[in-house]
Amino acid sequence: MNSPLSPTKIILASVVTAAVVGSAFGFVGGFVAGSNVSGDLAAASLPQLMRRSPSGKTGAAVPKSEEQSIIGAVKRVSPAVVSIIISKDVPVMEQTMVDPFGGSDFFQQFFGGSGMRVPQYTQKGTKKQEVGAGSGFIVSGDGYVATNRHVVVDEAAEYTIILQDGTKHDAKVLARDPANDIAVLKIEGKNLPTVTLDDSDAIQVGQKVIAIGYALGRFSNSVSSGIVSGLQRSITAGGGGIGSEDLYDVIQTDTAINPGNSGGPLLNLDGRAIGMNVAIVQGSQNISFALPIKDVKRAVESVKKTGKISRPFLGVRYVPVTKELQQANQLSVDYGALVSRGQQPTDLAIMPGSPADKAGIVENDIILEVDGKKINDENPLAAALSKHSAGDKVKLKIMHRGETKIVEATLEERK
Residue 353: what pLDDT? 94
Q: Which residues contact 333 (CB under 8 A, 6 or more apart)?
A: 321, 326, 366, 368, 399
Residue 408: what pLDDT? 96
Q: What is the architecture, at CATH level 2, of domain 312-413?
A: Roll (2.30)
Residue of 113, 105, 103, 297 lying closest to 194 (CA atoms): 297
Residue 25 CA: distances (Å) to CA of 18, 195, 202, 205, 232: 21, 26, 13, 10, 19
Name the residue type at position 164.
Answer: Q
Tally of CB atoms within 10 A around 108: 13
Banded model confidence at residue 3, pLDDT cuts 50, 70, 90: very low
Residue 245: what pLDDT? 73
The string of pLDDT tens digits covering residues 327-384 is: 999 999 999 999 998 878 888 999 999 999 999 999 999 999 999 999 998 888 988 8
Name the residue type at position 352.
Answer: P
Spatial separation of the C-alpha atoms in residues 47 and 60, rounded to whole Å: 10
Q: Name the percent of the chain in helix, strand, coil, to the closest 5.
A: 15, 40, 45
Q: Is 67 exposed, middle or buried (0-12, 13-18, 19+ CB in 10 A)?
A: exposed
pTM given for the model: 0.69
Banded model confidence at residue 224, pLDDT cuts 50, 70, 90: very high
Residue 66 CA: distances (Å) to CA of 40, 73, 226, 256: 33, 11, 12, 18
Determine whether domain 1-17+65-89+127-309 maps to CATH 2.40.10.120: yes
Residue of 366, 355, 357 lying closest to 319 (CA atoms): 366
Spatial separation of the C-alpha atoms in residues 163 and 378, rounded to whole Å: 38
Cα first-last separation, the chain: 23
Residue 198: what pLDDT? 93
Q: Output 309 or 410, whichever has higher pLDDT.
A: 410
Residue of 232, 196, 175, 165 lying closest to 16 (CA atoms): 232
The string of pLDDT tens digits covering residues 137-190 is: 999 999 999 999 999 999 989 999 999 999 999 999 999 997 789 999 999 999
Residue 292: what pLDDT? 94
The string of pLDDT tens digits covering residues 25-43 is: 333 333 333 333 333 333 3
Domain range list for the chain: 1-17+65-89+127-309, 312-413
Average pLDDT over residues 376-399: 89
| Spatial contact of 22 and 241, defined as CB atoms under 8 Å apart | no
Measured at the CA of 234, the angle between CA 212 and CA 7, to 5 degrees, comes to 40
Three-state secondary-structure class, residue 328: helix
Give catalytic residue positions. 150, 181, 262
Percent of the chain scoring above 90 in pLDDT: 50
What does the H/E/C string look like for 251-299? EEECCCCCCCCCCCEEECCCCCEEEEEEEECCCCCCCEEEEEHHHHHHH
The string of pLDDT tens digits covering residues 247-282 is: 878 999 999 888 888 999 999 999 999 999 998 887
Banded model confidence at residue 64, pLDDT cuts 50, 70, 90: confident
Instruction: Supply the mean pLDDT for the chain.
Output: 81
